[in-house]
Amino acid sequence: MTNCTPEFEIVNGYIPGSIGRISELHGIYYHDHWNFGLYFEAKVATELSEFLKRYDDNRDGIWIVTMNGRVEGSIIIDGIHGKKGAHLRWFIISDTLRGKKVGKMLIRKAIEFCRAKNYKTTYLWTFEGLEAARHLYEEIGFTLIKQQGGVQWGTTVNEQCFELTTD
């Protein structure tokens, strides 16, 4: 019997091409499933670029999933607002690896990092309807702390903030 799970690697740190590919993964997924457009993809690319320009190993973390040299997923911890907690951002898995427990591995790496850096809390913003992601968040211990209508993604959604105590 052959192993049907694709070979992948989780790389700690920036790799060339990751800004474009992470933006592409977000742009395509959220367009196909939620009808998000240019505003959203440009926001991801701009904010991700700004984050990477100010990246600091002492407070920030980035893990990129690659397969055959191609970026297939990511998760990022943005620690710039340390007193508020660590911000989990840009978590995405390509269709190629979705459903293969790669997301669970990434979240665990990110939370281990937050604990090692002594962040008291880790939080993330998402929106209602992303049930697979919500399941992963709740499985690791995140709880929904706030909901509100909003347009930060370029279209009206029910925004949700989840938080995890990581100290």
pLDDT bin (cut points 50, 70, 90) of residue 3 is: very low
3-state secondary structure of 112: helix
Among 140, 57, 54, 146, CA closest to 91: 140
Among 44, 56, 165, CA closest to 111: 165
Asked if 83 contacts 123 with a C-beta cutoff of 8 angstroms, the reply is: no
pLDDT of residue 107 exceeding 90: yes
Asked if 114 contacts 122 with a C-beta cutoff of 8 angstroms, the reply is: yes
pLDDT for 20: 97
> d(Cα 52, Cα 163) in Å, to the nearest integer?
23
User: What are the boundaries of each domain within the chain?
Assistant: 9-120
How confident is the model over 147-163, as pLDDT tens digits? 988 776 777 888 999 99
How confident is the model over 53-106, as pLDDT tens digits? 999 999 999 999 999 999 999 999 999 987 789 999 999 999 999 888 999 999
CATH superfamily of 9-120: Gcn5-related N-acetyltransferase (GNAT) (3.40.630.30)
Asked if 160 contacts 144 with a C-beta cutoff of 8 angstroms, the reply is: yes
| pLDDT > 90: percent of the chain | 82
pLDDT for 5: 55
